[in-house]
Amino acid sequence: MNPTPLNPSPMSPAPMTDRKRAPMSDLSRRSFLAGAGLGLAGAATLAVTNLGTRLALAAPGSPQTGDTLVVVFLRGGADGLTIAPPYGYPSYRKLRPSIAIAPPGTADGALPLDKSNPNAAFPTGLAGVVGLHPAFKPIHDTLWREGKLAVIPATGLPPSESASRSHFSATRYVQAGSASTAVGGGWLARMINTMGVGGVIPAVDTSARSDLLRGGRGTAVIPSLGSFGVNGFPDRDRTATALRALHAGTDSIAGQGRTALDVAARVATLGTELRPGYPKGSLAKTFSELSSMLKAGLGIQAAVVDYGGWDMHSNLGTVGAGRFHDRATELAAALRAFADDTNGLDEITVLVMTEFGRTINENGSRGTDHGRGTTYLAMGAGIRGGVFGDDYPDEIADEPTYGDLAVLTDYRKLVAEIVTRRAGVSDLGVVFPTYRGSGSLGLTR
């Protein structure tokens, strides 16, 4: 394909009229957020305008929409060429003799990402260039059909930050949002810190394995609602009082301790049973609990789900079985249940990202080694379905040892668009202090 010049549309205010009205339960969630964050004045504003917190919180002239941003991190370097296979590329079939995915319409073929879906947009001409691994059928059937799933192939760290192909460097960089050691904590944490308002729990990390929320104000790490409390002591209330006294200091342990006590008191009433429609498995349970927390009105603006196991140096597998199939199937089922449970991701944007992609060459163990370009997914009621990116390579480099998918879209370009247009951040420089790019892909509504 020839490079297609991107024609970035200037950012326009989010169209308010085509946003579905939130059901009452979601409005009350947002009302709680406003009340907690703004005090009486904020709550009064909300009551007067009656426009929902999303609009009440927006600064004048800002395109703030205030989605909750859920980042799913595929730890290990997920193979973007298997998530979104470029099935028409000769090099793809040739260099992956046992793991390539067939074109749409054939047996075990990729799911189409083309103009057969009238709800999808292809602003840079990427219709039909890649498909989607068949394991993603649960979200292809719904979110893709409804125009709520954006696929961004050939993205990742820019060349200046991806030379080492180290898991640890790449993970640190994409989670910090910068390769500079002067930038501390995660980009999602800085997003939270710059937003200024927050409820009981501004941000939830479901495992503490990633750095995305490291340094985020009031971030609660909640691996499991069922065990999020203090037990083992004879007198629960007196214990909580004493713990608070022991954690009265100004140090970081005391601060985390007070947050833990506040959050534990608030989530103690939430049900811990699996919500209807979720499959078995720990990832689905995580999303079920996240949904419970979102519906409880805790003011959650960001959440992280760390989902590992993508470092598939061997036995990546076929369409119907194997390591990739198993991981992607569990991921797609959990995302589908979460979307169904949240009125089609209303006021929620989900970003699925990873640290790097993998080599075009299948290695001797039927897996792939460390590469650079990969595929990100974004989905939500405020996401415009389609395939986005500055471009896709004409050919995937076939060097004897280093061949991989080039990064043609800096990951921060799409994340920046999401945090400004969906999460409501106005000061992008705080979130990505070393990012010098501009323009947007147009994947947000």
Partner 1 sequence: MAGAGGSPTTQPATPGSSSTLSPAGTTPAAAAPSVVTPRAVAAPGILVANRITFGVTPAILSQIDQQGGGGFIDDQLARTGPDAEVEARLGALGMLRLNPSLASYNAVQGTGAARLRQEITLAAVTRAVASRHQLYEVMCHLWMDHFNLEVFNDGSARHLLVDYQEKVIRPNALGSFRNLLKATAHAPAMLAYLDNDTSNANSKQGINENYGRELLELHTLGIAPDGSQVYTEADVRAAAMAMTGWSTVSDRKAADFSAFVFRPQYHHTGDISLLNGAWIRGATQGQATGESLLEFLVTHPSTARHVARRICRRLVADNPPASLIESTAQVYLANDTQLVPTVRHVLNSAELAASGGQKLRRPFEHLAAMLRALGTVLPTDPASDGAVGLQRHLERTDHLPWSWPQPDGFPDTAAHWLNTGALLYRWSAAGQLAGNRIKGVQTDLGPLTAGGGTVGDLITRLATRFGLGPRTAEEVAAVAASVRKTPGDPADSIDPKLLPAIPGLLLTHPIFQTR
Q: Which of residues 213-232 bind partner 1 (CB under 8 A)?
A: 214-223, 227-232
Q: How far is the CB of 198 from partner 1 (least distance, A)?
A: 7
Residue 17 in tokens? 């009229």
Amino acid residing at 369:
D
CB-based contacts of 218-227 (< 8 A; 24+ apart in sequence): 218/192, 218/259, 219/189, 219/192, 220/259, 220/260, 220/263, 222/263, 222/267, 222/289, 222/293, 224/272, 224/285, 224/289, 225/267, 225/270, 225/272, 225/289, 225/292, 225/293, 226/272
Do residues 407 and 375 make contact, with C-beta atoms less than 8 angstroms apart? Answer: no
Contacts of 388 by beta carbon, 8 Å cutoff, 6+ apart: 121, 123, 124, 126, 150, 151, 152, 409, 414, 441, 442, 443
**Interaction of residue 252 with partner 1, rule CB under 8 A:** yes
Select the residue interacting with partner 1 from 55, 254, 397, 406 (CB under 8 A).
254
Closer CB to partner 1, 16 or 253, in the complex? 253
**Interaction of residue 205 with partner 1, rule CB under 8 A:** yes
Burial letters 225-245, b for 16+ CB under 10 A, else e: beebeeeeeeeeeeebeebee
* Segment 304 to 343, residues that bind partner 1, using CB under 8 A: 308, 313-314
Closer CB to partner 1, 12 or 227, in the complex? 227
Q: How far is the CB of 304 from partner 1 (least distance, A)?
A: 12
Outline where 73-126 has alpha helix (H): 80-83, 90-95
* Segment 378 to 407, residues that bind partner 1, using CB under 8 A: 400-402
Q: How far is the CB of 113 from partner 1 (least distance, A)?
A: 31
Q: How far is the CB of 182 from partner 1 (least distance, A)?
A: 5
- Per-residue x/- marks for partner 1, 256-285, CB under 8 A? xxxxx-xxx---------------------
- 191 SS3 class: helix
DSSP string, 336-350: HHHHHHTTTTTTEEE
Contact stretch for partner 1 (CB under 8 A) within 3-11, 102-110, 242-250, 346-354: 242-250
**Interaction of residue 243 with partner 1, rule CB under 8 A:** yes
Select the residue interacting with partner 1 from 19, 93, 137, 167 (CB under 8 A).
167
* Segment 338 to 377, residues that bind partner 1, using CB under 8 A: 363-365, 369
Contacts of 315 by beta carbon, 8 Å cutoff, 6+ apart: 322, 323, 365, 366, 367
Closer CB to partner 1, 25 or 164, in the complex? 164
Q: How many whole angstroms separate alpha carbon 188 and alpha carbon 186?
A: 5
Closer CB to partner 1, 49 or 365, in the complex? 365
Q: How many whole angstroms separate alpha carbon 150 and alpha carbon 154?
A: 13
Select the residue interacting with partner 1 from 60, 118, 182, 276 (CB under 8 A).
182
φ, ψ of residue 258 in degrees (nearest 5): -65, -40
Closer CB to partner 1, 299 or 380, in the complex? 299
* Segment 183 to 202, residues that bind partner 1, using CB under 8 A: 183-186, 189-190, 193-194, 198
Q: How far is the CB of 34 from partner 1 (least distance, A)?
A: 15
Count of residues binding partner 1 (CB under 8 A)?
83
- Per-residue x/- marks for partner 1, 107-146, CB under 8 A? ----------------------------------------
Select the residue interacting with partner 1 from 5, 249, 277, 437 (CB under 8 A).
249
